[in-house]
Amino acid sequence: MKTVHSKILLYCNILAVLIIQTGKCLGQSIPVSLRINPEEAIGTTSSKLFSDIDYIPLETNKTSLFGRIDQLYVTSEYFIILDVDTNSILLFRRNGEFHLKIKCGRTTDELKARFFTVDNERKLIKVGYYFNKTKTYNFEGVLQTSEEEKNEFDYLYLLPDNITVSYALNYNNKKYRHDSINYAIKVTKGDSILQRQLPYLNYNRVIRNEDRISGPGNLFLESSNDSSVNLLGYYGYTVYSISRNNVKPAFNYIFPQEISLPADFLTNSSYYGKRIEYLKNHPSVIFTVANFFTLNQFIFFKLISVKGGASYIYDRNSNLLIATDHIESDSANCYLPITMNGSYPSDNFISYSFLTTYNGKIYASISSREMFNARKSSADKQVQYSQHLKDYFDNSTVNSNPVIIELKPRTHFSY
C-alpha cells in the first residue's frame, strides 16, 4: 500500500511540474480577452457587413447529389465537402462544377467519416474515423493509405511540411492501462514530437467517456494563414493558435457568470460521470465555443448550450456584437438568405455556422429549398439577379444541391 501511495505521489509531483512548465510556455503569449454578453447583440444588414456576396450553386446530377455540407475546406481549385449522411467526400471546382465523389465506407457509425483534413501541398485528403483510424485519398479520389494513427486523437489537422497536429481529451478508457503522463495537444512530424502541451495523468478518473460533448464539426478551424490552425477544445473558452513551433492561447472568452461553466469543470474529478447531467440542469450555460474564424477586425463564432446554438460576429474596432439571426438581407445580395430562412435561422446555421475561411473570405451554405423560398418571398421587389443565378433558378429545383455562399467582410463596419 505504501508503494502504491508513493507511486501516486510521484506521478502527482511530476504532473505538477509539467503543468507549471506548460503554464510558463503558454504564458509567453497573453490571450486577447473577449468579453461577450449575448444579450447585448445587435442587428444589421448584409451590405453593411460584407462588401461582396456571391452564391455558388453546386452542380446536381445523379452522382453528385447530396444533402448537407457538414464540413467545408476551400483550395485555389476546389471546394472539398464532407456529407455525413452519405458518408462521402465530394469535390467541386470553384465555379460549382462537380469533380468527383469519394465513398468513405459503409454508413454504420464506426465506419462513418467524422472529419477530414487536407494536405494542400501534396494534394491529399486525410479522413478521420473512430478508433484512431484514418484513410488518405488524393484529389482524384484514389486511396493512398489506410492506417491506425500512432497518437490517439479526437481530431487531427495537417499543416505544411508534413506536420500533424492532434488533439485528444483526457478521458478514461474502459480498458485498463498503466498510469502515465500524456498531452492533449501534440505537434508531430513523422515519429518526431515537435510540441506537446496541456499535460494530464492518464486514467485518473477525472473525465468519463460519456462526459464528452462538444460543438458541431471539427475542433480544428482554419486560421488566416496556412502555417497555423486554431483549436477550440472540449468544455473550453480558450482559442489556441497552433503552428509547427508554437502552441499559444490566442483568445479567451469571458461570459456573464450565470451562463459560464465552473472554472474547474474540465479538471475537477467531482464532475466525473456527471457533466452531461450538470449541463441538463443548467441549460443556459455555454459549454463550448465553435466555428471560430477571424477576418479583418471581425471575429465569427458560435456559442452552444443545451438550449441550442447561436452565431455571432464581434467587431473588435467598435466592440459591437452582431447576432447573425438579426442580419437582414437587402438588395446587395438580391434579398437571398445568408444566415436566415425567413424568420428562422437557415439549416446551415442551425446545425453549424460559418464553415471556413480562405483568401480573405468566409463561407457558409444554404439549401436550394431555402433559395427558392427566398426568391418567392422577394417576388415584389423587382430583384436583378446575376446571369449565373438566373441560370440556377431556371435549371434547378428545391431538391438540388446546396449553394455555397462566399462573403468578403468589409474593413470597416458602420452601424
Give residue-wise pLDDT tens across range 174-189.
444 555 788 889 999 9
pLDDT tier for residue 3 given thresholds of 50, 70 and 90: very low
> Is position 115 within any domain?
no
Residue with the three cell numbers 462521402 = 88
What pLDDT does 214 receive? 65
**Is the CB of residue 213 less than 8 Å from the CB of residue 274?**
no
Least confident residue range of 104-113, 232-241, 405-414: 104-113
> Is position 359 within any domain?
yes
What pLDDT does 212 receive? 75
> Is position 384 within any domain?
yes
Of residues 347 and 138, more confidence is placed in 138
Is pLDDT of 160 > 90?
Answer: yes
pLDDT tier for residue 55 given thresholds of 50, 70 and 90: very high
Is pLDDT of 9 > 50?
Answer: no
Structure letter (DSSP) for residue 255: -
> Is position 77 within any domain?
no
Is pLDDT of 396 > 60?
Answer: yes
**pLDDT, tens only, 186-217:** 999 998 999 999 887 776 677 777 777 766 67
pTM: 0.90
What pLDDT does 179 receive? 58
For residues 17-44, average pLDDT = 74
Is pLDDT of 75 > 50?
Answer: yes
> Is position 91 within any domain?
no
For residues 290-298, average pLDDT = 94
Structure letter (DSSP) for residue 204: -
Is pLDDT of 5 > 60?
Answer: no
Of residues 50 and 131, more confidence is placed in 50
Work out the mean pLDDT of the chain and round it to a whole number.
88
Is pLDDT of 142 > 50?
Answer: yes
**Is the CB of residue 147 less than 8 Å from the CB of residue 250?**
no
> Is position 29 within any domain?
no
For the ranges 57-61, 111-115, 143-147, 191-195, the one whose mean pLDDT is highest: 57-61
Structure letter (DSSP) for residue 64: T
Is pLDDT of 374 > 90?
Answer: yes
Instruction: Tell me which residue of 364, 276, 284 sits closest to 49, measured CA to CA.
Output: 364
Report the amino acid identity of residue 189. K
How many percent of the chain have pLDDT more than 90? 68
What pLDDT does 305 receive? 94
**Is the CB of residue 232 less than 8 Å from the CB of residue 154?**
no
pLDDT tier for residue 348 given thresholds of 50, 70 and 90: confident
Work out how many domains the chain is built from and give that number: 1
pLDDT tier for residue 24 given thresholds of 50, 70 and 90: very low
Of residues 70 and 351, more confidence is placed in 70
What pLDDT does 172 receive? 60
Is pLDDT of 16 > 70?
Answer: no
| 133/106 Cα distance (integer angstroms) | 14
> Is position 222 within any domain?
yes
* Number of alpha carbons in the 13 Å side-chain half-sphere of residue 409: 24
Of residues 414 and 73, more confidence is placed in 73
The H or E element containing residue 325 is strand 320-328
For residues 19-40, average pLDDT = 73
For residues 369-378, average pLDDT = 94
Buried (b) or exposed (e) across 346-378, using 16+ Cβ within 10 A? Answer: bbbbeebbbbbbbeebbbbbbbbebbbebbeee
pLDDT tier for residue 45 given thresholds of 50, 70 and 90: very high
**pLDDT, tens only, 96-130:** 999 999 999 887 767 789 999 999 999 999 999 98
Structure letter (DSSP) for residue 211: G
For residues 227-251, average pLDDT = 93
For residues 31-36, average pLDDT = 96
Sequence-separated (6 or more) residues with CB below 8 Å from residue 376: none
SS3 (DSSP) at 376: helix
> Is position 26 within any domain?
no
Domain of residue 50 covers: 34-69+205-409
Is pLDDT of 144 > 90?
Answer: yes
How many percent of the chain have pLDDT more than 70? 89
pLDDT tier for residue 7 given thresholds of 50, 70 and 90: very low
Instruction: Tell me which residue of 219, 264, 213 sits closest to 240, measured CA to CA.
Output: 219
| 77/363 Cα distance (integer angstroms) | 15
